[in-house]
Amino acid sequence: MKRLLLFLTVFVYQVGFAQSNNNRVSSGIERKNAFKKQVELIKKTPYKNLNWRLLGPDNTSGRSTDVWGIEGNKNIIYASFATGGFWKTEDAGKTWHSLMDKEGTQAIGNFAISKSNPNIIYVGTGEANIFRASLPGLGMYKSTDAGKTWQHLGLENTSTIARVVVHPTNPNIVYVAASGNEWSYNAERGVYKTIDGGKTWQKVLYQNEKTGCIDLLIDPLEPNTLYASMWNRIRKRWSDPIPEDGDYIYKSIDAGKTWKIINNGLPDTKNTGRIGLAMCASKPNILYAYVDNHTPKRQGNEGELDSYGRPKELVILGAEVYKSTDKGESWIKMSENDKQMESFGGTYGWVFSQIRVDPNNENKIFIMGLNIAESEDGGKTWKNIPGGNSPDTRIHGDNHGMWIDPSDSNYILNANDGGVVVTYDGGKTWKNFFKEIPTTQFYNVTYDMATPFNIHGSVQDEGSMGANVSWQPWNNIVDKKNGWHFVPGGEGSIIAIDPTNPNITYSSAFYGRIQRGDLSKEGKERIKNITIKKANDEDSHRGEWLAYTHISNFDNKTIYHGMQYLFKSTDMGETWQRISPDLSTNDKNCMGKLPYAVAHQAITALAESPFKQGVLYIGTDDGNVQVTTDDGKSWTKIMKGLPSNVHVSRLEASKIQDGTVYITLSDRREDNIKPYIYKSTDFGKNWISMAGDLPFSPVNVIREDPKNTSILYCGTDLGICISKNAGKNWSSIQANLPSSVSVQDLFVHPRDNKMVIATYGRGVWVLEDLTLLQR
């Protein structure tokens, strides 16, 4: 493509309400149909009157993707969450209400409020930041009554939406930045436009099937002028997004009919990634671009580590800010390539690249990355905004959105991985709403045998957290023992708790670096590093984000830990023995390179027979399933009837019937939402599907009822279901849960008969008594 300022006439086609002209049955259409089935299950379930109790946490929130206020009104705030839905406050944040609990997705990418009629809200679903656990959406929604009711507007095949822009005077004219599938190619990317309030859509800018639109601006004074930032981005299971050529900024002066590339003064796109855009509302000839520049700056120093504790092999230029004073016709680099910008987003600046301009001061700008930085001289110099020291006043790391009140530039709202914060004095002091918006993203949950029992789980960007099952959140009582508190473990960690001593835990701190915790101790003595060292005859250890750790059913001092090899310790992790070969496919073509590599081809699930010591089942993220009956001396593949190359999300050995084992697999990392649940009654030699009539959705966990092998519970990206006939049919037990919340993990406490679920976006919930379900 010529990189000259030539007008590009873009192919335009009509897209109906549900894109019915598209003959391809896309995952978006399947997700829409799956939610219809979910609604049917919820309507006909005999378990409508179940009451899930929200356990919290009540001291942290979840990742917010954007936040908006109403000009001149500090009482009303709207906030979108990556997997926690869409929320509103009408009393300046004292109380918040979730507005989309009955809709088909809790994954919100972006939203916009009509300036000419603030009761009209457009919400674009599917998180565009493409974290490893981001979830796709169902296209566009609209409310005309300030969020009380919603109408679905189609575009479900776009998968993720990065920005929604409403015409300043005509709320029926809307532009949508569609960023497309996270893991696979699709043509439903680019910029879409409606002139009839979302009844029909046109695709007005399209580059190719792996390049989507990641940011979008409209000139408030000349609304036929638009700016679009395109991002060439596909994520692989073994690699974060790698910069590729084609990340252009486009401009249209005829309301999207034609576009041209505006790159005069911008860096070569071969080494750039995501580009964020901002405009000064009072002087819209002034634009800023936040460029994630991956041009190599230097090699990592010896001993220099990245955020995940891996050797830092490459240091990039990092965040760069460019300014245009002529509506994008030319750009000037403003920022320096100093250490601050180098580390502002690291090599994962593709998560951030958000920039804002004070609507009343064209030289005051903010960029968002790991921190928030402010410049008062148009981007020449920068200072980080620290926030306060107390939990109520801190600004969480990883920032994704900001709104500045045009009528009062000191009133600023910020969206980050910990929720929403507000300042009324231009950033000198902040207030955090983490207590009021329970949208925490749990990867998993487990229990101990204390009375009453405690639960532990790993939480996105928060490390690992725990609380007592009896905890009553939002009671304004500080209880460091029973209330929510940090426990040993990283944000990516499978936690195992000693069944004889609830103080002893085993967990990982990113990619399988295992540690032993002792909750009876404080400070450095609380955690001991027991990470397994690589032997000379081993490849570098590959530990998954959620590397699996298991305490033996027969001996609490015996620990199993999975990398690509399975390791065993008989002395609580003091020493380790490798008891397997590489249990993955070990395909060298499916391994990333630092600094973009993501650990892949590693163990993600493990189950031990409760009947015979040494019978172990393992599953990997590339679909290998194997069993050993002699504690690792020999291994047998057991994949007859299972899909190939699909991430194994859970293994469950029956506690009632010897030789019976269950498995779930999730192919979300290939944008496939088919549910995979299987059962074997012969130690895995043969598998039969148990997905039955489940709505299509990736399956995260399966559990057998401790009293009855015919009763099964499963958690999917759409919620939680029960089967009373061994998987032939499923019933919803969603009850008072949001209709489409992702359930990542669950357990039934073996002594107390309570069920606890971990949701990815709405915290942890408890069902106090399973008697009704077990009849």
Average pLDDT estimate for 95-108 = 98
Reference 16, options 194, 201, 188; nearest CA is 201
CB 556 within 8 A of CB 545: no
What percentage of the chain carries pLDDT values higher than 90?
89
pLDDT category at 6 given cuts 50, 70, 90 is very low
DSSP helix/strand/coil, 447: strand
Instruction: Look at the block and give the residue holding tokens 């990039």.
Output: 316
Whether residue 667 is predicted with pLDDT greater than 50 in this model: the reply is yes
pLDDT category at 423 given cuts 50, 70, 90 is very high
Whether residue 21 is predicted with pLDDT greater than 50 in this model: the reply is no
| pLDDT tens-digit readout, 722-750 | 999 999 999 999 999 999 999 999 999 99
- The β-bridge partners of 738 are none
Greatest distance between any 2 Cα atoms in the chain: 74
Q: How far out from the chain centre does Cα 278 lie?
A: 25
| pLDDT tens-digit readout, 253-294 | 999 999 999 999 999 999 999 999 999 999 999 999 999 999
Tokens encoding 279? 């405009």
Domains, the chain, with CATH or none: 1-44+100-261 (no CATH), 265-361 (no CATH), 446-774 (2.130.10.10)
> What pLDDT does residue 309 have?
78
Reference 720, options 759, 691, 770, 752; nearest CA is 759
Contacts 24+ apart (CB under 8 A), 40-45: 41/695, 41/721, 41/730, 41/731, 41/732, 41/734, 42/732, 42/734, 42/739, 44/731, 45/731, 45/732, 45/733, 45/734
Q: Give the CA distances from residue 83 to residues 88, 99, 595, 715, in Å, rounded to whole numbers and listed in that order.
A: 16, 13, 27, 15
pLDDT category at 20 given cuts 50, 70, 90 is very low
How far apart CA 76 and CA 90 sit, in angstroms, is 4
Instruction: Look at the block and give the residue holding tokens 């951030």.
Output: 352
Whether residue 14 is predicted with pLDDT greater than 60 in this model: the reply is no
Whether residue 8 is predicted with pLDDT greater than 50 in this model: the reply is no
Question: DSSP assignment, residue 565?
Answer: S
Burial degree of 523 (CB within 10 A; 0-12, 13-18, 19+): exposed
- pTM, whole model, 2 decimals? 0.95
| pLDDT tens-digit readout, 501-542 | 999 999 998 899 999 999 999 999 999 999 999 999 999 999
Q: Which helix (H) or strand (E) holds 123?
A: strand 121-125
DSSP helix/strand/coil, 349: helix
> What pLDDT does residue 389 have?
85
Question: DSSP assignment, residue 37?
Answer: H
| pLDDT tens-digit readout, 438-478 | 999 999 999 999 999 999 999 999 999 999 999 999 988 88
How far apart CA 512 and CA 563 sit, in angstroms, is 7
Average pLDDT estimate for 693-698 = 96
CB 691 within 8 A of CB 675: yes
- Identity of the residue numbered 113: I
How far apart CA 547 and CA 492 sit, in angstroms, is 8
Average pLDDT estimate for 655-677 = 96
Burial degree of 5 (CB within 10 A; 0-12, 13-18, 19+): middle
